[in-house]
Amino acid sequence: EASRLKSELIAKVSHDLRTPLTSIIGFAEMVQLGLYGPVTQEQEETLGKIMQSGEDLVVLVNDLLDLSQLEAGTLRLSRVPFAPTALVPRMENMMRLLAGNKGLTLVTEVTSELPPYLMGDPDRLHQILVNLVSNAIKFTAEGEVRVRICLLDETQWGIQVQDTGQGIPAELHEMVFEEFRQAEYSANAPRRGVGLGLSIVKQITAAMGGSIKLESEVGQGSIFTVMLPLIEAEAEAEVEAAEKTQRERPQA
């Protein structure tokens, strides 16, 4: 009963926070664009920080909502045809600037062995990919973040995110997937977020019938591999219909 009430409270608070946060970001953007008059460079930079902080809070709110749904067993996964190649440009639109701001190179690859169309939930797969790439960027000071979408074997396909960060000690490998925990493996790493991203990735992956593996050593970077059941979609027409539905769906 206590767990159910906690999940309901988190869900209600998350929903109630979304509207004012969206308004804050929207109004700050309008001011930054000069719709209410000219702004100085210093004001523009400050408004940018307001927008970034608002967007960080939106991510946190969405993570809390997902967490409550996962705990309550109410998270819904779609099962539609999608092209795995489409996951990359959608992620790049969000992450390339973030990587560039830190001087990192974002490298992507979709291997040719992968079937052109699969069945799954492209929105949740996008969420998994963005969380993994965002985490890699956060804890990488220099070098690159490499994303690989590939066929693992006859029954599984995978999403791999590799970074050139300083790595994670073996004794902390399990901890990084715990809720509200972030591995203290870098004294210089920024403390953005409350440690929900990897936990949510692991739980959504499990809900899809998959698993996640971490390979990392101190000084050698990290590789996160999400392993998912390989379910091919049969007809290209089904994919086109699913993508059309996806485009027409109202965005939250």
Q: What integer pLDDT is reported at residue 101 of this predicted model? A: 84
CA dihedral 210, 216, 222, 228 (to 10 degrees): -10
The answer to whether the CB of 147 falls within 8 A of the CB of 107 is: yes
| Cross-strand pairs, 118 | 82, 232
pTM above 0.95, yes or no: no
pLDDT at 235: 58
- Per-residue pLDDT, 250: 61
pLDDT tens string for the chain (252 positions)? 666 777 778 778 877 888 898 899 999 999 999 999 999 999 998 998 898 888 778 878 888 888 888 877 888 899 999 999 999 998 998 888 889 889 999 999 999 999 999 999 999 999 999 999 999 998 999 999 999 999 999 999 999 999 999 899 998 888 888 876 654 545 455 544 545 789 999 999 999 999 999 999 898 999 999 999 999 997 555 556 666 676 666 654
Quote the pLDDT of residue 156: 97
Residue 94 has a pLDDT of 82
Kindly write down the DSSP assignment for every residue of 199-224, as one continuous string: HHHHHHHHHTT-EEEEEE-TTS-EEE
Residue 183 in contact with residue 174, Cβ under 8 Å? no
